[in-house]
């Protein structure tokens, strides 16, 4: 059993004043065939700024909740979306706005400009859209679904 | 910019005749704090059997649709859940059945027994549950949501 695996970028998130898009590297462009028939993608990206030994060794944090400054309990990183984790992989589900050549214009991402993308998958309701979810009280405001 | 990143296992999927579970490695166990308050997790895992140069260079496939043998059009891997992709990372959303020490008993996984897990995240409806999804005709049967 190998104890370490290698990941390569297949593209990058890009942002300017007007737009947010994914720029797929030329050598992976053919992996986009038929993408225009989908509305939403799951993106996996490398949290470049947290790829260091210290951040990767943190296993408990107080998670942030976007709306409000309420205190949250100390939590294992595996039940937070903290960028600090053993493998700094981010996950964002994005809506496709338009596709032009190797550019996928999207609604938003929480990743910074020039963040490396390591995988893109189609969003499939039958496996990915869970209707009956339980969350702890401090995450209650995150139970609302995305109707967009 | 680094052009390659390193990933380590934090645990493994396990299966026997009766159960399916995640076994978290001892050194990452504290990352599970408060997990019992959640119902669903997003798991990212390493598709060990497809981590070779040939499979990682395939960019187009005919995706499988579980119910039925219908033909599907050639598609870019970024719009399929094929195990063959540039970075062999699998994604499965699992339901927690019970937690015991470093074992998370779950409803199911499409990963094989002993598959390395590289990250676990909480399933958060506000970012992960998309109600209005568009899929191409050959994926129409996958539009149904998961009510479990």
Q: What is the pLDDT of residues A69-109, one digit of tens each?
A: 678 999 999 999 999 999 999 999 999 999 999 999 999 99
For residue A20, the surrounding DSSP H or E stretch is strand A20-24
Strand, coil or helix: A1: coil
How close does chain A come to B140, measured CA to CA in Å? 10
Find the CB nearest A39 among B123, B126, B134. B134
Q: What is the pLDDT of residues A29-40, one digit of tens each?
A: 999 999 999 999
Residues of chain B found within 8 Å of residue A58, distances taken between Cβ atoms: none
Q: What is the pLDDT of residues B37-79, one digit of tens each?
A: 999 999 999 999 999 999 999 999 999 886 666 789 999 999 9
Contact A32 B126 (CB under 8 A): no
Average pLDDT, chain A: 94
Per-residue pLDDT at B68: 64
Per-residue pLDDT at B54: 97
Closest CA to A121 of B108, B92, B71: B92
What is the spatial distance between Cα B49 and Cα B31, in angstroms, rounded to a whole number?
27
| Tokens found for residue A60 | 């408990």
Strand, coil or helix: A95: strand
Residues A121, A91 contacting (CB under 8 angstroms): no
Per-residue pLDDT at B57: 97
**Cβ contacts from A onto B, under 8 A:** 278
How close does chain B come to A81, measured CA to CA in Å? 6
How many C-beta atoms lie closer than 10 Å to residue B120's C-beta? 26
Per-residue pLDDT at A65: 84
Residues of chain B found within 8 Å of residue A10, distances taken between Cβ atoms: 78, 86-87
When pLDDT is cut at 50, 70 and 90, the band that residue A2 belongs to is low
Residues of chain A found within 8 Å of residue B93, distances taken between Cβ atoms: 127-128, 130
Question: The pTM is what?
Answer: 0.96
Instruction: Give chain B as a DSSP string.
Output: --S-EEE--SEEEEE-SS-EEEEE-GGGGGGGTTGGG-SEEEEEEE-GGG-SHHHHT--EE----SSS------EEGGGS--S-SSS-EEEEEEEEEEEETTEEEES--SSPTTPEEEEEEE--HHHH-BSS----GGGGGG---B--
Q: What is the pLDDT of residues A55-74, one digit of tens each?
A: 999 999 999 886 666 789 99
When pLDDT is cut at 50, 70 and 90, the band that residue A46 belongs to is very high
Residue B2 has pLDDT above 70, yes or no: no
Residue A15 has pLDDT above 90, yes or no: yes
Residue B18 has pLDDT above 70, yes or no: yes
Per-residue pLDDT at B67: 66
Q: Return the half-sphere exposure (C-beta side, CA atoms, 13 A cut-off) of residue B126.
A: 11
């Amino acid at each position: 059993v190998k104890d370490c695996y290698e990941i390569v970028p297949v593209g990058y998130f890009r942002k300017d004043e007007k737009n947010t898009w994914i720029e797929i590297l030329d050598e992976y462009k053919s992996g986009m065939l038929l993408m225009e028939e989908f509305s939403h993608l799951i993106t996996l990206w490398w949290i470049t700024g947290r790829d260091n030994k210290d951040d990767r060794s943190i296993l408990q944090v107080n998670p942030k909740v976007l709306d409000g400054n309420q205190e949250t309990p100390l939590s294992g990183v595996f039940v937070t979306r903290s960028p600090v984790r053993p493998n700094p992989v981010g996950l964002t589900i994005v809506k496709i706005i338009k596709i032009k050549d190797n550019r996928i214009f999207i609604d938003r991402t929480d990743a910074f400009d020039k963040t490396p993308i390591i995988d893109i998958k189609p969003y499939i309701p039958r496996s990915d859209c869970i209707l009956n979810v339980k969350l702890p009280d401090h995450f209650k405001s995150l139970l609302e679904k995305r109707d967009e």
